[in-house]
Structure 1
Amino acid sequence: MIFKMDNIFKTMENHIFHITAINLAIVAVLIIFLLAISRKLKSITKGYKSLSKISDKKSIEQLVYDAVNISNDAIEENIYLKKRVEDLERNMKYCVKRVGVVRYNAFRDVGSDLSFSVALLDDTSSGVVISGIYSRETSTTYAKKIINGQSKHVLSKEELQAITEAKTIV
């Protein structure tokens, strides 16, 4: 056994330069890894400190928990608002959006276009047509219900013209 150990020591003496160079290379690689890890740790520590400053002494776990709760609340609010917008869009088609106005002279002895027909329609061409007939002695106003562009009452040509005008508005 002594003989073998002597051989090992002699071999080491002969190759001491190579062994030292290999050891130095290993140490250099380890130092590079240590510097990289140190830089990453410094970055993480800096982020943690900045979070700690704005967190009113809350832990990172509490900050994450709060952020998740805020996010969940925002998601719920978004779902509610989306449903509300859908309801409003559905109801919007029944709001008056289309208006047609026709002014005319109902009688020859009246000097100006003081009579009128106004059609107020929704997206389904339903609503009302209001007509005002002006004469020197009196003024009369009529309202007729319109469903899908039609009325169960007889419509004058001016009322039909007001409905047609309202339908053409996009």
Structure 2
Amino acid sequence: MISKYLGFDSDYIIIGLCGVLLILFILTIVNIVQMKKLKKNYRIFMSGKDAKTLEDTLIQRLDQVDFLLESNEENDSNIKVLSKNMQRTYQKMGLIKYDAFHEMGGKLSFSLAMLDMRNNGFIINAMHTREGCYTYIKEIIDGNSVIVLSEEEQEALKRAMDPNGNLKNSDEE
């Protein structure tokens, strides 16, 4: 009766419903296969473990992560302290060996410049003579000295401030 009003035969409705039933049957089989795979993977994951040991493992890993984060913060703090301390240490050096009076030979006299990162420090000048060895020190502030520097002291200072760190010995000149 309804088929007369709609203008098509009831056979088409039955065929359509069979098609929908077939599609649902195929989808059900696909879902069953996927569930079996999921159960198999779950059993492999949980084999030898119960919920308590799995929870303990997760808690242990989270504690390790917390420890690593704390250690990292502590390391960052230590690095900052070390970096700050390094600013005040003598990191640059310039050394010139020379013969102070051209009579001794062997270049036993020397000028040694020691500077920090800001080019503050000192120059030690040791002059060796036949009578003895005389040592002088001159303060360096921002790469300059208030007291006039000798030629050797100037060269030692220049080498200490050399950004390439060329510390070649005066014997090589």
1:33 and 2:31 correspond: yes
Q: Percent identity?
A: 26
Matched, 1:130 2:124: yes
Unaligned runs of 5+ in 2: 1-9, 165-173
Are 1:66 and 2:60 an aligned pair? yes
Q: What SS class does the counterpart of residue 41 from structure 2 fall into? A: helix
Residue 73 of structure 2 is aligned with which of 67, 79, 82?
Answer: 79
TM-score by length of 2: 0.74
- Greater mean deviation of Cα atoms: 142-151 or 33-42: 142-151
Alpha-carbon distance in 2 for matches of 1:169, 1:29:
74
The residue correspondences of 1:19-168 to structure 2 (distance < 5 A) are 23=21, 25-49=23-47, 52=49, 58-168=52-162
Describe the shift of the 1:18–1:104 C-alpha distance in structure 2 as closer, same or farther (beyond 3 A): closer
Shift of 1:128: 1.8
CA distance in 2, matches of 1:28, 1:169: 77
SS of equivalent to 2:103: coil
When the two chains are superposed, the root-mean-square deviation of aligned CA atoms in Å is 2.8
Question: CA shift at 1:74, angstroms?
Answer: 0.7
TM-score by length of 1: 0.75
Which amino acid letter does the alignment assign opposite residue 162 of structure 2? T
* CA distance in structure 2 between the aligned counterparts of 1:152 and 1:79, rounded to whole angstroms: 44
Q: Partner letter of residue 30 of structure 1? A: T
Q: How many residues align?
A: 154
